[in-house]
Structure 1
Amino acid sequence: MHWPYPVGFAHRLGGALAPENTLAGLLLAHRLGVTAVECDVQLSADGVAVIAHDAELERTTSGNGALAAHTAAELLQLDAGRHHHPAFAGEALPSLQKLAATLRRLGMAVNLELKPAGDARQMGQLCAAQIRQHWQGAALLPLVSSFSAEALAGLRQVAPELPLALLVEELNPARVAQAQALGCRALHVCHRALSAEWVAQLHGLGLAVMAWTVNQPQEMQCLRQWGVDMLCSDRPDRFDPAWAA
């Protein structure tokens, strides 16, 4: 099975090495030679896709309350760097549009994880239109994942050309069948739930496999020996340089 994405994905753009889900992290990953990143997508109150993990703003930004209660203009003014280290003070929370422009300029691949806060199917539909717009004409489209089957179903309705992946913490036949029913190209699995047998079985069904979130080099090498296609890690500095291809 041909799989066009690199092996190593930096979790939340820069892993543990920079403020999560920021362009500072993305640029750090790029300087390390990483060619693929993972990040989280949510919608502002006015329906604009922004890059952030939490439903609430306090942990990673200078804002307060629910992300979905704020407009994009309000969100993009927040400081998303200081919580990681004072050296990153003033680092903005990025929009999907700005992320796309930066990734395309750098020639990097991305896994976008949809994190719906309300109507998941509608969120998938709105994100699909924006992803399609921002990656129009791109040689490699984003790989879009979610724990929400409804979000993926909504996205597929609007942009069936986008490759999908279902995120799961545990593997069982029902979850595999769900991924197949959604038309997924990949299954993104907590690395502790994987085995060589599972990887072989998923490959036999035509599904690529991402292991998340794996940070120890020995575990990375073991997963690769099992045939895992992608590794998502907080420590992209520990990737084998060959995994950038």
Structure 2
Amino acid sequence: MNPTAVTAVGALPAWPYPLWIAHRGAGKLAPENTLAAFRLGAAHGYRMFECDAKLSADGVVFLMHDAALERTTNGQGIGGELPWHALSQLDAGSWHSHSFAGEALPTLEALARFCQANGHLLNIEIKPTPGTESATGEAVARVAARLWAGADVPPLLTSFKPDALAAAQAAAPELPRGLLVDTLWTGWLEKAQELGCAALVANHALWDSAHVARVHGAGMRCLSYTVNDEWVAQHLLALGTDGIITDRVDLFSPS
């Protein structure tokens, strides 16, 4: 399915993704951005996941949120400054709990195999090491285009960094994109349109009826992060938003 195909005159473009998206695999129930987390999120019924992708020093796309290794691995320094062989040896699970000790950092390719084998969908946040925005956007898009070639539903590529999205757009224009925003900075909607985005992914507190109408009127979908409270979810559903990224895979049923 082409997620940007318009189904009717004046209608929003078709949207093949589910409402509920598990943040970093399984929220806080497992070490984020590890295969263990995605397996646990799937066990809770989720069929779409959000992950963070960055670039190793030797050009391998791997999953990790922070630039620095210390919070979520037993390594030190900047992850993107190390080659993949060194990154692949790190323990990315012990920081969370003993039961996940020894869990490895996965590549995007490993996660793609898991998702495709199980019919899961993916939101890949392009999370560049500072200074590598364009290189990371291009690499993530090229790898994703290769891994999901011929897939009915491609991954959604998102980023807070317009330069990363612009590079992704140039490298793989067929993949849908979404601009992430934490504040409504001057020109946010125009930038999303310039980047050919299919979605605007905002801090949930930014959405109101006027902004939802404005984004929908521009032909884009409205997604929210990170929604962990029932009342917030109900508010977003009442506004008619299109996607909810949550840590609370144990609280919200995705069905």
TM range (shorter): over 0.9
Q: Shift of residue 158 of structure 1? A: 1.1
Q: 1:38 aligns with which of 50, 56, 71?
A: 50
Distance 1:192 1:80, change over 3 A: same
Q: Shift of residue 241 of structure 1? A: 3.6
Q: Which residue does 2:37 correspond to in 1?
A: 25
Distance 1:172 1:119, change over 3 A: closer
> Which TM-score applies when normalising by structure 1?
0.96
Determine helix, strand or coil for the equivalent of 1:39.
Answer: strand
Q: Shift of residue 119 of structure 1? A: 2.8
Structure 2 runs not aligned, ≥5 long: 1-11
Structure 1 runs not aligned, ≥5 long: none
Q: 1:121 aligns with which of 121, 134, 149?
A: 134
2:201 & 2:41 partners in 1: Cα distance? 21
Q: 2:215 aligns with which of 196, 202, 225?
A: 202
Q: Shift of residue 172 of structure 1? A: 5.3
The yes-or-no answer on 1:51 pairing with 2:31 is no
The yes-or-no answer on 1:160 pairing with 2:173 is yes
**Do the aligned partners of 1:166 and 1:186 also contact (CA within 8 Å) in 2?**
yes
Number of matched pairs: 242
2:204 & 2:253 partners in 1: Cα distance? 18
Q: Shift of residue 54 of structure 1? A: 0.6
2:220 & 2:252 partners in 1: Cα distance? 23
2:90 & 2:149 partners in 1: Cα distance? 28
Q: Shift of residue 143 of structure 1? A: 0.2
Q: Which residue does 1:63 correspond to in 2?
A: 75
Q: Which residue does 2:6 correspond to in 1?
A: none
**Do the aligned partners of 1:200 and 1:227 also contact (CA within 8 Å) in 2?**
no
The yes-or-no answer on 1:135 pairing with 2:148 is yes
**Superposition map of 1:58-137 within 5 A:** 58-117=70-129, 118-137=131-150
Q: CA RMSD in A?
A: 1.1
Q: Which residue does 1:192 correspond to in 2?
A: 205
Identity of aligned residues (%): 44
1:179 & 1:168 partners in 2: Cα distance? 10
**Do the aligned partners of 1:8 and 1:236 also contact (CA within 8 Å) in 2?**
no
**Do the aligned partners of 1:163 and 1:184 also contact (CA within 8 Å) in 2?**
yes
2:139 & 2:253 partners in 1: Cα distance? 36
Determine helix, strand or coil for the equivalent of 2:200.
Answer: strand
Letter in 1 for 2:97: H
2:162 & 2:197 partners in 1: Cα distance? 10
Moved more, 128-137 or 34-43: 128-137
**Do the aligned partners of 1:35 and 1:108 also contact (CA within 8 Å) in 2?**
yes
Q: Shift of residue 173 of structure 1? A: 5.8
1:154 & 1:190 partners in 2: Cα distance? 24
Structure with more of its chain in helix, by fraction: 1
Q: Which residue does 2:224 correspond to in 1?
A: 211
Letter in 2 for 1:177: E
The yes-or-no answer on 1:238 pairing with 2:242 is no
**Do the aligned partners of 2:19 and 2:254 also contact (CA within 8 Å) in 1?**
no
The yes-or-no answer on 1:169 pairing with 2:182 is yes
Determine helix, strand or coil for the equivalent of 1:123.
Answer: helix
